[in-house]
Structure 1
Amino acid sequence: MKIIEAQVYDFNKENAPCDTAKPGDMLLFRTLDCFSNRIPDENTTMADLDYTYGFANPAAGPVYVEGAEPGDVLVVDIYDIQVADEGTIATDDHCGPLFETTGYRTKKIKIKDGVADFNGVKFPINPMIGVIGTAPDGDPVIDGFVGNHGGNMDNKHITKGARLYFPVRVPGALLQMGDVHATMGDGELCGTGIEIPAEILVKIQLVKGFELNWPVLETQDKWYVNACAPKYDEALMNAAKEMQRLIMRITGWDAEETYMYMSVQSDVEISQGCEPCEVQLSLRIGTPKLYDLEPLVPQP
């Protein structure tokens, strides 16, 4: 099994791969927290950091996947996520709905036996990957941003046992991931979850020659299309169009029937919405699995 430790700060077709892998390989990604492990204690805040390109949301990778070509789909199975015993929550003065009354503050959260302790309130963690994806074929995208390649989707369902499908847009796909949260609520209201270093164990596979316009997440009982845009209505349109297209492909239903089915069975969920932070709004549409039909995305 290969261990991936090199850190990069953007999804970029020009990034040199730190390693190569073949479909079927297991990979262990060792990641820093979203602050590049630069907040050692509660006396250090985000105001003390150069929170610009080259600092935020480092991702381990990228890994060149042999045989991955534009037009394919990269499949990533998450086998395990192990986190450190302490994480960080931080606020600033420009992120989330309460930004006007919020200053800079750091809070360290101890984790023991899978339980986080916030001022004596204890709750189980559910480690999830905030940043994961493949390289876009256009301009680079900073790790802290999200797009149709993946990136900073901040989808709390990207956890152990989940399977992700990413469009391959450059030779080798260039897979990278990081920004693990011990836990995070939908929306990530103040802009951070419990940010934490981690080790992520995954298996990679390929689906050859399948059109995928946005990343898809498969859980035990649902399919999710992940999409984004500067505003909610545009992000919703992006996710809805892709979900409708994929359902139509496997059911043979027309657009109107599919739209009606989505209205009664699909859920719209906000992954991250931290205006006035310039990161785009990230959302997902989840539809229950249709077990008597073929999968929404072909299996590797």
Structure 2
Amino acid sequence: MPEVIFGLDSTKRFKDQEKVGHNRWHPAVPPVATVKPGATFRVHCREWFDGAIHNDDSADDVRDAPLSTVHALSGPFAVQGAEPGDLLMVDILDVGPIPQEDSGPLAGQGWGYTGIFAKQNGGGFLTDQFPDAYKAIWDFSGQVATSRHVPGVSFTGLVHPGLMGTAPSMELLRKWNRRETALRETDPNRVPPLSLPPLPQDAILGSLTGSPFDDAAAEAARTAPPRENGGNQDIKNLTKGSRVFYPVFVPGANLSVGDLHFSQGDGEITFCGAIEMGGFIDLHVDVIKGGMTTYGVAENAIFLPGNNNPQYSRWLAFSGVSVTLDGEQRYLDSQLSFQRACLHAIDYLEKFGYSREQAYMILGAAPIEGRFSGVVDIPNSCATVYLPTEIFDIDVRPSASGPAKVNGGKPVPKSTF
């Protein structure tokens, strides 16, 4: 096993650990460890809400999920010799749930969860159709996930970090704040908001204290969206065996990682759409000097996916076009097309006995494939959602005999404001 350079005690809160990570982006957050190029090491990661979501049959914890606290990130980790303009090469050697802890109160101890977030607390990709909070618990058996709240479904987890990235420079941080403030000001009362402003409340900034903490907390960026440094990209294919190349904006690169997922469909469409968990990740790092200019990677990571994906060979695909539910034509709106494809899949799964919420959970957590299939034929773009049929206990393909019905399972817990 590689050396653990960031360990976590499951009996303690994230901010009470021996080494404290962070939940905001800021170049002043000090590195918790420094490694050499070519180093291999292990990092423990806490589930993104640091234990606020429980293994039970209530969705009140998802309804009340403290978004001001996320994400609980491990790091930053400085890499000797890395300088702005370099590329940081990161190999994901292994990733999984909390080692040797297959039961317990924390997600990652033999279980994880998927949440549909209430519209008033972040919402999701289909928040207008699903405005309330729901939760499903998934149990892990080796690499396979099943749920008492979503019957008749089992699939191999595509384990990956939802969030990994390098620290921004001050120039880049201020660019983020300017453009996200401008967006928010176009509709300041929108629910959910168009962007999240800096929020000192509940900020964790590693070992910073006093006035340096206060100054950084006032301008540090929230970790919710992906940005030029990587961040919360939620790419399900960044799994074991992947190699990622991150732009370097500060000396040492200051790599951070967290938000581990046992599985996820493309898009993580319920917002908390993956199977969230804590766990570990083994990384190898190296530096390509001057790589940002050499390879034209001035912003956003590029990566080589690993080859450990679940092997599904049979799919049922749903398509959608850029027309709203009330019949309004939109011009090449690929996001709307993908929403419509997802809704068509939900309508279809209802015919097999699933509730709409169960179907939505399946699209968020199972390894579905989402694709923008046609983006040039005015006025309609076309998007498709590929659902692996082998994850179901029943045959979900259309046939002359009509749809089979799924049996058993508890209702998906619901909570409303």
Residue 117, structure 1, aligned to residue 131, structure 2: no
Matches within 5 A, 1:24-39: 24-39=38-53
Mapped to 2, the partners of 1:165 and 1:141 lie a distance apart of 22
Partner of residue 99, structure 1: 127
Residue 218, structure 1, aligned to residue 243, structure 2: no
Query: Which amino acid is the alignment partner of residue 3 of structure 1?
Result: I
Could you report, residue by residue, the CA deviation over 1:254-296 in whole angstroms, capped at 9, with x for unpaired residues? xxxxxxxxxxxxxx957xxxxxxxxxxxxxxxxxxxxxxxxxx
267, 285, 289: which is aligned to 1:204?
Answer: 285
251, 255, 259: which is aligned to 1:179?
Answer: 259
| Structure with more of its chain in helix, by fraction | 2
Mapped to 2, the partners of 1:100 and 1:157 lie a distance apart of 28
131, 143, 154: which is aligned to 2:163?
Answer: 131
Matches within 5 A, 1:277-292: none
Q: Secondary structure at the match of 2:128?
A: helix
Shift of 1:100: 2.4
**Corresponding pairs, count:** 227
Asked if the contact 1:93/1:100 (under 8 Å) is kept, the reply is no
Mapped to 2, the partners of 1:78 and 1:203 lie a distance apart of 7
36, 39, 60: which is aligned to 2:74?
Answer: 60
Q: Secondary structure at the match of 2:164?
A: strand
Alignment gaps of 5+ in structure 1: 222-231, 236-267, 271-300
Shift of 1:49: 3.0
7, 15, 40: which is aligned to 2:54?
Answer: 40
Q: Secondary structure at the match of 2:291?
A: coil
Mapped to 1, the partners of 2:303 and 2:287 lie a distance apart of 15
TM-score (norm 2): 0.51
Shift of 1:4: 1.4
Partner of residue 264, structure 1: none
Could you report, residue by residue, the CA deviation over 1:202-261 in whole angstroms, capped at 9, with x for unpaired residues? 10100001222221111258xxxxxxxxxx9899xxxxxxxxxxxxxxxxxxxxxxxxxx
Mapped to 2, the partners of 1:207 and 1:269 lie a distance apart of 32
When residues 233 and 27 of structure 1 are mapped into structure 2, their CA distance, relative to the original with a 3 A threshold, is farther
Mapped to 2, the partners of 1:109 and 1:56 lie a distance apart of 21
Mapped to 1, the partners of 2:270 and 2:334 lie a distance apart of 23
Query: Which amino acid is the alignment partner of residue 282 of structure 2?
Result: L
Asked if the contact 2:46/2:259 (under 8 Å) is kept, the reply is yes
Mapped to 2, the partners of 1:105 and 1:34 lie a distance apart of 17
Mapped to 1, the partners of 2:279 and 2:30 lie a distance apart of 23
When residues 31 and 143 of structure 1 are mapped into structure 2, their CA distance, relative to the original with a 3 A threshold, is same
Shift of 1:48: 2.3
When residues 14 and 108 of structure 1 are mapped into structure 2, their CA distance, relative to the original with a 3 A threshold, is same
Partner of residue 20, structure 1: 34
Mapped to 2, the partners of 1:141 and 1:234 lie a distance apart of 28
Asked if the contact 2:63/2:117 (under 8 Å) is kept, the reply is yes
Asked if the contact 1:68/1:168 (under 8 Å) is kept, the reply is yes
Could you report, residue by residue, the CA deviation over 1:143-179 in whole angstroms, capped at 9, with x for unpaired residues? 2221010100111111000000001110010000000
Mapped to 2, the partners of 1:88 and 1:35 lie a distance apart of 11
Partner of residue 257, structure 1: none
Asked if the contact 1:87/1:108 (under 8 Å) is kept, the reply is yes
- State the structure with more CA Rg: 2
Q: Secondary structure at the match of 1:45?
A: helix
| Runs of 4+, deviation exceeding 3 Å | 232-235
Residue 4, structure 1, aligned to residue 18, structure 2: no
Asked if the contact 1:90/1:105 (under 8 Å) is kept, the reply is yes
Partner of residue 148, structure 1: 228
When residues 147 and 198 of structure 1 are mapped into structure 2, their CA distance, relative to the original with a 3 A threshold, is same
Mapped to 1, the partners of 2:5 and 2:111 lie a distance apart of 22
Asked if the contact 1:73/1:206 (under 8 Å) is kept, the reply is yes
Asked if the contact 2:49/2:66 (under 8 Å) is kept, the reply is no
Shift of 1:50: 2.4
219, 243, 268: which is aligned to 1:188?
Answer: 268
Could you report, residue by residue, the CA deviation over 1:23-50 in whole angstroms, capped at 9, with x for unpaired residues? 1111211111122221123334222232
RMSD of equivalent CA atoms: 2.3
When residues 88 and 68 of structure 1 are mapped into structure 2, their CA distance, relative to the original with a 3 A threshold, is same
When residues 70 and 269 of structure 1 are mapped into structure 2, their CA distance, relative to the original with a 3 A threshold, is farther
Mapped to 2, the partners of 1:97 and 1:174 lie a distance apart of 31
Asked if the contact 1:77/1:161 (under 8 Å) is kept, the reply is yes
Mapped to 2, the partners of 1:57 and 1:106 lie a distance apart of 19
When residues 147 and 201 of structure 1 are mapped into structure 2, their CA distance, relative to the original with a 3 A threshold, is same
Asked if the contact 1:64/1:175 (under 8 Å) is kept, the reply is yes
After TM superposition, the structure 1 stretch with the greater mean CA deviation from structure 2, 36-45 or 146-155, is: 36-45
